[in-house]
Structure 1
């Protein structure tokens, strides 16, 4: 790590530019409501060249207050371009509040030199950018980072070997582990892979090309996700082959050398950088955020957590006033020594369901007692443990008509809570429904399932979901999870299925429902049922899954 610049040395004079931010950014900025009033007029220096360690030019825009003053700096590095929405959301809004904002295109994107290679260059390129900052006359030695999704990953990458100037981070619906973005238990998250592929291939070219690419992907989606083999089927929709996407799709094993160095999780083991984490209960990366929080807490770091009623996309849309206020308060507290807007507790979660409301907590999770709910042969869900391990029921999963995915924690719309009635009417979806609740029940923490099941071919999947059934019979998903079912000997396997975390209050008069199926397509690539690669298999066979009585839904139930 390069030593920081000596702040005591004379700095060259700096005359700020008077250029206005781009018109598209100013127009979008004018549409937002519910944001803090701006404190400064701002200006813009576009197209600056920052040299990476290998000399590749990293193209960078600089937003800043058009006033005299000593302002801290925010670094925002993105593979999605420097235009709308990033220019108004990060460049303009934070500069208006009194920050220099460096908005930079990752290598190989947005005009920056070199070749984009998912995750492999972010740590080095981030440190090279800090070296460049040290030479700028306006840089006062105080640095923060902010950003969502992959813009969160580049923050963790920089924090692996943090420069001494880095004083605070704000990771919004962000990831630290690319493997977990693309795979669960060795199964490809197909929709995620395709959407990230489209975004990283086209968004840095501007909103027009990106929208066209997204629409083209939507038109071709059915053909792509049902192709046999799946490998390479995306090329028509994306208009080209994407080498890094091919690599991601064809390396499903977390221990494969391909993924070595991909995870930046170790950065959260450092106690030195105060970090604000923001997620949504239906965010595709919610589990990564809770993992980050747990590691930061264990390290003794100063950390705050906000979990709202959002998806990955809506956190930056409907949730933006809350997300921006949370981010701004944290950055002011740690870069400007102004803690006046910090909330009093380190954790704030939105509890959904009955009487939905925000809840301030001292920590997460609260570790309430776990309650086991057991399925019965007549489709009920009971707290009475089974007396044996007999087979309850079987169902057939047909790859010619796979069980569809519906809502939940997706990158795209329609994500989030949805009416599951049509899904639950299928023969390949099991439901076990609890009694009508006589008083509210709150589920607060990590949900999981312990499923005892077998697949007649030896290879299958388990997708399980917790739903809220209202008095009219409408079933709405709360949280869910996925795991592979491997039973080569035909004997039932005991599979633990993590079902993410939630803060949810089931109303009196409602019922809890446990849903079990053998897939959620195209959220997850289909299991061929033969043990072959999901991406390279040409032959798919139907799978009959048998569920046994010693299965259980495990709920961290708090006080009603």
Structure 2
């Protein structure tokens, strides 16, 4: 029996999807022609109709199924990138719009229905004559959350997951440095535009994006923030209101928002894909650690990508990684798997490295902050030096330049203009006499006081070349406890954790640390009053002082990482799945 007989009204995929499919380069040869059945109605857990499209190989035989549940519609780019491409390679692809999105019934919610509706989708699959009982999931960003939600109580048919630049914790998305911490303003606004308009077509999405862009400066400058954002959307957005008003992850509103616990007890083989400048980088690495500790079969790919570019210019590598994992676990074909569990792209050297695990073996190296020579990083802590101070004024907040964002001006950027500001301190090493490879978690250990008790500290690692161009590598932000105000018993010891990285500083380059009071509008400014960000109406400047010894802590790579270029490494004749070793189980 051929797959086409299961859908009497089966047709070709939409023309727009077929045209876009032809523009995707670096894809493997097509194995099958593709059939398409659109607008199937699948009941959600509460009976709401969820619109679903089915792509399938026009060929006789049994094929495994891929479930892709999306709050961003079922059209471009999911139709060509998932529906057509994977059906061509021998998979049924079921692409479903989440409740209240893309024409599906019910009310949209960021997380409340995803686990139950995912199980309802699997129950529907069990009734289909073409379903073989072999199931995988895949998808990026919020489509990653739908996978983690299903994995909280995985159905027995679920054999593999591929989470691409994915989120598992919605509170962690809005407050990436935890609680207490600043609201991730710009990425939250951009993601809300996608959530509200992605499934309405390209024109509607473009118009909404332009409206937000026109209003972004006003949103960033006006108070209170809970009112300032409204013109950018033409109305209120309930989940933004709730996220801004409820920063505490223990608030009842966030119950169920973190599906990451699935990784701590997971048994479903899971491939994780991210980029060093992906807004979901930290969540992905957290999940990798949880899966490894649980003894779960897993792999990790980290490219030189942002959240968006991973699915654009990084798509050939992402697709190959995804296809290899799914064939290995759904089709018993391990020929597309790597020899090692981890592959990372190393900035500076611009090369791929294969590693046995993440993070690799590294030695902590401390560079102490010294006010001499215009701000230096030295191997020895200065003695008897006065504290180093700067004034942060929320009425003229320190701007954000590049970094982990969803907008286009993201990733590595020239920091020259930022570093010329009086509210940004910089500390720089002499030119390196030999390359310095940094692979792992980066942090700065500070001894801090403030004059008001209300402040954030933003820290950034940069690579300065021979021409003096300073390019950001990784960064992090930390909200200070009010006890750091004058009158407290001495400086507070504060660690600002930056996102991990894999970067090689070339000989002749310099390592630079920036310290400032924020990165706006990437993060909502600290108003200096302690009031909730959604309702604060006053702005109070703060003086932040760094006391000695304070230090930048870098993970200097160990011998395991040397000379392993994954792009050129010869592949062995026999591939092995990434099964956990006996000691991992």
The answer as to whether partners of 2:244 and 2:533 remain within 8 angstroms in 1 is no
Residue 471 of structure 1 aligns with which residue? Answer: 466
Which residue does the alignment assign to 1:101? 93
Displacement of 1:384 after TM fit?
Answer: 0.7
1:89 aligns with 2:85: no
1:138 equivalent to 2:130? Answer: yes
Q: How does 1:365-514 map to 2 (within 5 A)?
A: 365-378=359-372, 379-387=375-383, 391-488=386-483, 489-490=485-486, 491=488, 492-514=491-513
- Deviation string, structure 1 residues 349-397 (Cα, Å, up to 9, x no partner): 00111x3210001111113111111111121101112335x54311111
Q: Post-superposition shift, 1:234?
A: 2.0
Residue by residue, what CA displacement relative to the aligned partner does 1:402-421 show, whole Å, maximum 9, x if unpaired? 10000011112111100101
SS in 1 for 2:226: coil
Q: Which residue of the other structure, out of 11, 21, 27, is the alignment partner of 1:29?
A: 21
Which moved further from structure 2: 487-496 or 39-48? 487-496
What's the offset of the Cα at 1:249?
1.4
**Offset at 1:15?**
4.8
Query: Which whole-Å CA distance do the structure 2 matches of 1:498 and 1:87 have between them?
Result: 39
Deviations 1:136-157, CA, capped at 9 Å, x for gaps: 0110100000000000000000
Gaps of 5+ in 1: 1-10
For residues 449 and 285 of structure 1, the distance between their equivalents in structure 2, rounded to whole angstroms, comes to: 21
SS of 1:415's equivalent in the other structure is coil
Secondary structure, aligned partner of 1:374: strand
Q: Residue 319 in 1 paired to residue 314 in 2?
A: yes
Partner Cα separation in structure 1 for residue 449 and residue 61 of structure 2 = 67
Tell me the distance in 2 between the aligned counterparts of 1:12 and 1:359.
43
SS of residue in 2 equivalent to 1:126? helix
Report deviation, 1:487.
Answer: 3.7
- What are the superposed Cα offsets for residues 20-64 of structure 1, whole Å, 9 maximum, x if unpaired? 111111111111111111111001111000001211011101111
Match of 1:235 among 225, 230, 247: 230
Q: Distance in 1 between matches of 2:411 and 2:197?
A: 25
Aligned to 1:5: none
Aligned pairs for 1:60-459 (under 5 A) are 60-183=52-175, 184-185=177-178, 186-353=181-348, 355-378=349-372, 379-387=375-383, 391-459=386-454
Do 1:391 and 1:546's aligned partners in 2 also have CA atoms closer than 8 Å? no
Kept after mapping to 2: 8 A contact 1:455/1:486: no
> C-alpha distance in 2, partners of 1:112/1:243?
19
Inter-CA distance 530–113: structure 2 relative to 1 (3 Å threshold): same
Quote how far apart the aligned CAs of 1:284 are.
0.4
Report if the CA contact (8 A) 2:370-2:381 is conserved: no
CA contact (8 A) 1:16 1:66 kept: no
Which SS does the other structure have where 2:500 is aligned? strand
Kindly state the Cα deviation for residue 93 of structure 1 after the two structures are TM-superposed.
Answer: 0.8
Count of matched residue pairs: 548
- Cα offset for 1:13? 7.0
Whether 1:555 aligns to 2:550 is no
Is the CA contact (8 Å cut-off) linking 2:4 and 2:35 kept in structure 1?
A: no
* Cα displacement string for residues 452-477 of structure 1 (whole angstroms, at most 9, x for unaligned residues): 11221110010000000000000000
1: CA distance, partners of 2:313 / 2:512: 29
- Cα deviation, 1:141-176, whole Å, max 9, x if unaligned, reads 000000000000000000000000000000000011
Superposition deviation, residue 286 in structure 1: 0.3
Distance 2:213 2:386 in 1: 41
In 1, the alpha carbon distance for the partners of 2:130 and 2:441 equals 46
TM-score after normalising by structure 1? 0.96
Aligned CA distance change for structure 1 residues 276 and 383 (closer, same or farther; 3 Å)? same
Cα distance in 2, alignment partners of residues 66 and 117 from structure 1:
36
Partner-residue secondary structure (3-state), 2:231:
helix
> Does the 8 A contact of 1:407 with 1:414 survive in 2?
yes
Instruction: Show the counterpart of 1:48.
Output: 40
Structure 2 contact 464–512 (Cα < 8 Å) conserved:
yes
Q: Distance in 2 between matches of 1:497 and 1:344?
A: 35
Distance 1:16 1:284 in 2: 43
Going from structure 1 to structure 2, the CA distance change for 1:221 and 1:15 (only over 3 Å counts) comes to: closer
Alpha carbons 1:380, 1:432 under 8 Å: kept = yes
Change (3 A) 1:94 1:542: same
SS in 2 for 1:232: helix
Q: How far has the Cα of 1:237 moved from its partner?
A: 1.5
> Residues of 2 paired with 1:391 and 1:549: CA distance?
8
In 2, distance between residues paired with 1:15 and 1:544? 68
Would the aligned equivalents of 2:7 and 2:37 in 1 still touch at CA under 8 Å? Answer: no
Secondary structure of 2:387's aligned partner: strand
Q: CA RMSD in A?
A: 1.4
Q: TM-score, normalized by length of structure 2? A: 0.92
Using the alignment, how far apart are the partners of 2:328 and 2:4 within structure 1? 29
Aligned partners of 1:343, 1:16: CA distance in 2, in Å? 41
Aligned to 1:8: none
Structure 2 unaligned blocks of 5 or more: 563-585
Give the conservation status (yes or no) of the 8 Å contact 1:193–1:249.
no
